[in-house]
Chains A and B, each alone.
Chain A
Amino acid sequence: MQRTTVTSFEDARRRHGLIVLTVLAVLIIVMFIVSVNTGYIRLTPLQLLDTMLGKGTDKQELILFQFRLPRIVISILIGAALAVSGAVMQGVFRNDLADPGILGINAGAGLMVMLLVSFYPSTSAAPVYLLPVVAFVGAACTAALIYSLAYKRHQGIAPIRLLLTGVAVAAGMSAAMIVLTLRLDPDKYQFVATWLAGSIWGTSWKFVFSLLPWIVILLPYVIYKARVMNVLNLGEQTATGLGAAVGKEQFRLLAAAVGLAASSVAVSGGIGFVGLVGPHLARRLVGPKHQLMLPASALLGALLVITADTIGRRILQPSEIPTGIVVAVIGAPYFLYLLAKTKS
């Protein structure tokens, strides 16, 4: 009908969206500078610049390049990965409560970590470098198990069935974990609980490089699929009518989401809230179109995790608060405020 108004509205929305994305990116850079300065040993911005350019002392170089930078990079990566993973799941399941935790990713990873820890006589003997591998295997296996349980011949995968299956399997794993929890000795319990609460402990370049390929391949892939996700959002029948291969696309998207979430959980434990809230905030800021919503989710998730990680390192120096806890404590009130403020 009235093409002109529609397109101008679209243009306005795109402009607004790009402004939002720019602001988020700037905020992340600001947080990055703050975060580099956070820790037991302070670096002034000038020292920081010098060190970055290779003119700092050995000590400064060590702190910056071996401890802080990898950690900051990791928190940005997992924040983006978890939020986008959540966005994909909410889109595919068309359920507001879907998040990476729902497909049993956190539960599967947690259970495997717990098993690994309970096999060793003490936590100090447990090989820390094995944890992410084991966590990843647990997460991927759980996701595969849930998928195969929800699969039916001639019907493929119905999102609702997958969702319910995921919840059930996650509940089963949590129950098994509770039984294990009560049998662990207190030291081990403390270790596992800290891990499960979401601590970014993979703080070396090794972990960054193990995480990077997943993110570099899967994030662009999902964003490239934005149009497909817009179509899927119209409902299965409509999407099929528009010529989308619904089942196939759902599978691809979910596989990507699982890959993103599982690789993040492997290096950070269960940071739960990002995947649920990132996409919701993004939708409120830039609207439901996935071309803008997915990048916005990624930036919001990164911002949330890097901020939470910085705060978590700051408060109880020299000990730390698990990042996952801080994420929920700063993310939830803001989310609730938004919920109360906006119209349905």
Chain B
Amino acid sequence: MNYQAVSGSGRNQKTEPLKLRSRPWAATLILIGGLILLALGIAVSVSFGAADIKLSVVWTAIFHFNPDITEHQIIRELRLPRVLGGVMVGASFAVAGAIMQGMTRNPLADSGLMGINSGAGFALAVCFAFFPNLSFMYLILYSFIGAGAGAGIVYGIGSLAKGGLTPARLVLAGAAFSALLSALSEGIALYYKIGQDLAFWYAGGLAGTKWFQLQVMSPWVIAAIIGAMVLSRSITMLSLGEDIAKGLGQRTGLVKLAGAMIVLILAGASVAVVGAVGFVGLIIPHLTRYLVGVDYRWIIPCSGVLGALLVVGADLTARMINPPHETPVGAIIALIGVPFFLYLARKERREL
């Protein structure tokens, strides 16, 4: 791959593909338009459901809450946390994926690769098999611990090596460790016949998102996204290759460690709330790069907005398809995402 094109000297401006430039205008447009759309999506999502509620009622429920009205209760206690959970999770997965892809320069990287999803899944398999009566709160806690432990081990193994942690090594360690944990979870699930319960959790569902979950998760997520923005310039450099980043005077080890911490917080929190909706973290960064170019200062916020949009939209669809039953949101995301991603794959010419 020819990265000299990035500097885009004037002479071959014409021949050089648009891919290799940053497009701040497009990015600004996406941010503003995306946020407006997201607000609309939230409004529709809150008013739509088993009981249809007028938007005006939604407004009063939020700003002039009256606990005696059932509709206000529904909105406050069920729908608002659900849609806000969707926003949080979508943004988290997408930003985590963007960071992973940028740091490792591997187009297939997403948070699932760091052992995060499989760590959480393994913790859940153990919980379902040995402590079937755990409360929801504890399930969340344990899956978060599982995600953290998974990522910690992957990262530790990657760093143990002589010559330190290379992106390639991190990705390989993540893939191997994920395979190990998934196999163990599968074994437990088969032996204790809990596969279907596990599958439902794993397929991702925003149903039953509670305020307390959001309260616990949101400060972490917000801090991590701010951290991602602070790091974004360094991630752009890393995405050009480690040697280039070092040559530009970057302390790459520090950047990678910070990036991995951010990914862990974002993905761990999200997996704990909704299960493994892995595909968001894979496709959204690709889409964003296609739209706004190669500068992670734009890619990261735009990924966040688009990821939130995708999950909120998918959740809405999941509730519409077969009411009152819910279709797993992970499946919907894949169904929306796949054709889209195929189109991008046809367009995309450049590796990261």
Contact = CB atoms under 8 A, between A and B. Distances in A.
Interface of A: 95-97, 149-150, 152, 158, 160-161, 163-165, 167-169, 171-172, 174-176, 178-179, 181-182, 184, 186, 189-190, 193-194, 197, 272-273, 276-277, 280, 321-322, 324-329, 331-333, 335-336, 339-344
B183 A328 contact: yes
B345 interface: yes
A161 B189 contact: no
A193 B346 CA distance: 33
Pairs A-B, 10 closest by C-beta atoms: A175-B334, A328-B183, A332-B180, A164-B345, A172-B338, A175-B331, A340-B160, A168-B341, A325-B183, A344-B163
A334 to B, nearest CB: 9
B71 interface: no
Contacts of A341: 161-162
Interface string B15-54: 0000000000000000000000000000000000000000
Interface in B299-352: 327-328, 330-335, 337-338, 341-342, 344-346, 348-349, 351
A339 B157 contact: yes
A190 B190 contact: yes
B172 A175 contact: no
Nearest to A179: B331
22 contacts: A97-B172, A164-B108, A164-B344, A169-B338, A171-B337, A175-B335, A181-B199, A182-B203, A189-B196, A197-B187, A272-B179, A280-B172, A325-B187, A328-B180, A328-B182, A328-B183, A329-B183, A339-B157, A339-B161, A339-B172, A341-B162, A344-B168
B180 A165 contact: no
A171 B327 contact: no
A172 B334 contact: yes
B210 interface: no
A242 B256 CA distance: 38
A176 B338 CA distance: 12
Interface of B: 106-108, 157-158, 160-164, 166, 168-169, 171-173, 175-177, 179-180, 182-184, 186-187, 189-190, 193, 195-196, 199-200, 203, 279, 282-283, 286, 327-328, 330-335, 337-338, 341-342, 344-346, 348-349, 351
Given A178-B328, A322-B190, A341-B161, A164 B171 contact: no
A235 to B, nearest CB: 9
A344 B184 CA distance: 29
Interface of B is mostly: helix
Contacts, number: 164
A328 B328 contact: no
A194 B179 CA distance: 16
A197 B186 contact: yes
B196 A342 contact: no
B186 A165 contact: no
A329 B180 contact: yes
Contacts of B108: 95, 97, 163-164, 167
Contact of A189 (B158, B172, B195, B334): B195
A332 B108 CA distance: 20
A302 to B, nearest CB: 19
Contacts of A179: 327-328, 331
Nearest to A272: B179
A343 B186 contact: no
Given A175-B334, A276-B175, A332-B177, A165 B169 contact: no
A205 B334 CA distance: 40
Contact of A193 (B183, B190, B203, B327): B190
A193 B103 CA distance: 35
